[in-house]
Structure 1
Amino acid sequence: MKIECSNCKKIYNIPEERLPKDQSFAFPCQACKTVVEIDLRSVLPEAAGSDPTEPNHPVGDELKKKILKTVRDLPPMPQTVFKAREIMADPNSGFDTLARVLETDPAIATKILQLANSAYYGFVGKISSIQHATMVLGHKTLNEIVTMAGSLSVLGNEMPGYGLDPGELWQHSLGVAFASKMIARKKEPALEDDSFAAGLIHDMGKLVLDKYVVERRTDFQHVLLSAAGNFLAAEKQALGFDHAEIAAELCKNWNIPDSFAVAIRYHHQPSRSGESKLAHIIHMADVITLMSGIGTGIDGMQYSVDPETMPFLQLGEEDIPSLIAEVVESVQKVSEEVQKKD
């Protein structure tokens, strides 16, 4: 479907299968930032109830228990990543030890080299081996790259329930990680590393909910319409909880720090987090990445912006365009290298 911005006349060609059925939606024009509004509700059936042919599914606490019992079926963050991060946190560790651990996982090692050689990091010459990478990158940069490589194996799959093609959730998560890092660097430098890591895994709740959204597709579309564009409300009505809530539960299973769990749990509602700086940073980073159009899926801009976040972070509207531009450029530079054929 061709969609035209009413202000600058920029044309967007969006595949119909990517459009949210039977509802209105909006997105910011990348050229002029005008909000483009589309209403697809004309094809909505007169009775917007549940499809009688759709089977009944557990919801709420019953579904949550089922999900948490089967969470071991999720692709875990590779143990190589956790071990490498432990080594890098030890001031007495050596480059040889770190290299040996990373080389035990060829898939992770390959992604590390791809990311290290991306235009984003801009190193002169080619980093040709893990041993070379450990010597020239430094622990801070290598820690960032190792975390990105590990997340790609977890977040890189297609997610039809959320309307995300292969790699799109990872790209969106990467955008949030970069935006979080940029905001923290300016406003809370001590949280720069944590902001990047938490931003990278902030949407992991979608990993487990995707198949349940697919199962309840008809109901989900109807409640999304009735929720007037509030995606979290639609998730809660259809499932009994939202992806941020289930992500906080996953943090416990992956032994992720409590500060991350709180920030991820409230990354759409940071004012409810008990003044978690990390929650506000990730929330703003998510908004910026969604505005950039990176990995938006069916939820797109269907989240409200917490009115307390920008004052809390001392950000002004004049800061947003440069952050969007930097996020788009950073994601593009990293993604181009990863998408190259081996």
Structure 2
Amino acid sequence: MKRRLREIIEATGQLPALPATTARLLALMDDQSAGAAQVLEVIGTDPALTANLLKLCNSAYYGLRREVGSVHEALVMLGNRTVVQLAFATSLGDVLRGPLAGYRLERDALWRHSLAVAVGAAHLAGVAGDRSLRERAFTAGLVHDIGKLVLNGPLKAKLQQLPQTGSYDALRQGERDLLGFDHAEAGQALAESWNFPAALADVIGRHHDVAAPRAGRGRADDALVTAVVVANLGASRAGFGAGSVCDDQSWQDALATLGIAPADAEAALARLPGDVGALAAAMDGRP
């Protein structure tokens, strides 16, 4: 199966390469010792990235009291890791914003879903009071569905055989029936080919597995998987789905299995429309 996944990744002409700057930002996120000088070196050489980053920093999502006018100011006010995380989100936008005909998704549909999962996962991780987990949850949520970039091409030819709507389980089963694997598996393979950190690639592969954190308890990234699994389901419930829906029973079962308090999950969902709207507006250059 892994060999076939690699063959599809290599043969899919529409699959975008990971931009060089994005790859460098990813390396910075995985480097706990990276300082402001290294961040400035990567971001400061890309005027478009810098401009878009500053739009995000000045968005309603962060609600800063004064305008951020430079990357250096952003580093001082938000911190190195938050700035790198935002720059990564900005640079990855072009990769995720295109239409995916194989999934019947219009332009920006996957991008808005990914933003919603990123924001929701960060909110859920924030409940634990762990800033590092919150930052990693945002990144993991943003990239959780990259496997759809891999399977989009092969699914176009089989579009009529793929369920038009339904649960995430129905979508994944349809992918497996048609191709032999699903987008979570494909996403993990793509993440590995892009040299993502192993923990991040693992979360991508497990982002639909409600039982995964319990089954793998003791693993360092279990809390991260939990945040992304619940945020992914919650995003669909909040109107930011990507072709699938989450019914009430699946939602309640997931919260119970993962040990997430319903109040915490609902609080995270309530913030999604405003937060996603603010981030999307900043990235689109709207006030």
The one-letter amino acid of 2:85's match is E
* Superposed CA offset, 1:1-30 (max 9, x none): xxxxxxxxxxxxxxxxxxxxxxxxxxxxxx
The one-letter amino acid of 1:291's match is R
Name the structure 1 match of 2:268. 323
Q: CA deviation at 1:265?
A: 1.1
Q: CA deviation at 1:307?
A: 7.0
Structure 2, gaps ≥5 residues long: none
Matches within 5 A, 1:196-211: 196-211=138-153
The one-letter amino acid of 1:271's match is A
Change (3 A) 1:87 1:210: closer
> Helix, strand or coil: the match of 2:106?
coil
Matches within 5 A, 1:124-139: 124-139=65-80
Q: CA deviation at 1:106?
A: 3.0
Choose which of 84, 98, 108 in structure 2 pairs with 1:143.
84
Q: CA deviation at 1:64?
A: 2.7
Choose which of 277, 287, 311 in structure 1 pairs with 2:233.
287
Could you tell me how far apart the structure 1 residues matched to 2:128 and 2:258 are?
7
Could you tell me how far apart the structure 2 residues matched to 1:128 and 1:305 are?
45
The alignment of Structure 1 onto Structure 2 pairs a total of residues equal to 279
Name the structure 2 match of 1:301. 246
Change (3 A) 1:306 1:123: closer
Asked if structure 1 preserves the Cα contact closer than 8 Å seen for 2:187 and 2:204, the reply is: yes
Could you tell me how far apart the structure 1 residues matched to 2:168 and 2:237 are?
19
- Once structures 1 and 2 are overlaid, which stretch shifts more, 307-316 or 180-189? 307-316
TM-score w.r.t. length of structure 2: 0.83
More strand by share: 1
Asked if structure 1 preserves the Cα contact closer than 8 Å seen for 2:43 and 2:50, the reply is: yes
Matches within 5 A, 1:148-163: 148-163=89-104
Q: Residue 257 in 1 paired to residue 197 in 2? A: yes
> Helix, strand or coil: the match of 2:134?
helix
Change (3 A) 1:93 1:62: closer
Could you tell me how far apart the structure 2 residues matched to 1:105 and 1:127 are?
17
Could you tell me how far apart the structure 1 residues matched to 2:56 and 2:188 are?
28
Could you tell me how far apart the structure 2 residues matched to 1:304 and 1:205 are?
26
Matches within 5 A, 1:1-342: 64-70=5-11, 74-84=15-25, 86=27, 89=31, 91=33, 93-95=35-37, 97-187=38-128, 189=130, 191-221=133-163, 230-272=170-212, 274-275=216-217, 276-294=222-240, 296-301=241-246, 305=250, 309-311=254-256, 313-340=258-285
Asked if structure 1 preserves the Cα contact closer than 8 Å seen for 2:53 and 2:90, the reply is: yes
The one-letter amino acid of 1:278's match is L
Structure 1, gaps ≥5 residues long: 1-59
Change (3 A) 1:305 1:79: farther
Could you tell me how far apart the structure 2 residues matched to 1:175 and 1:160 are?
21
> Helix, strand or coil: the match of 1:68?
helix
The one-letter amino acid of 2:264's match is D
Asked if structure 2 preserves the Cα contact closer than 8 Å seen for 1:178 and 1:196, the reply is: yes
Q: RMSD in angstroms over aligned alpha carbons? A: 3.1
Asked if structure 1 preserves the Cα contact closer than 8 Å seen for 2:127 and 2:264, the reply is: no
Q: CA deviation at 1:212?
A: 1.7
Instruction: Give the greater-gyration-radius structure (CA).
Output: 1
Asked if structure 2 preserves the Cα contact closer than 8 Å seen for 1:155 and 1:167, the reply is: yes
Could you tell me how far apart the structure 2 residues matched to 1:161 and 1:213 are?
5
* Superposed CA offset, 1:228-283 (max 9, x none): 97111111111111100101111211112222222211211131462333222211
Could you tell me how far apart the structure 1 residues matched to 2:190 and 2:232 are?
19
TM-score w.r.t. length of structure 1: 0.71
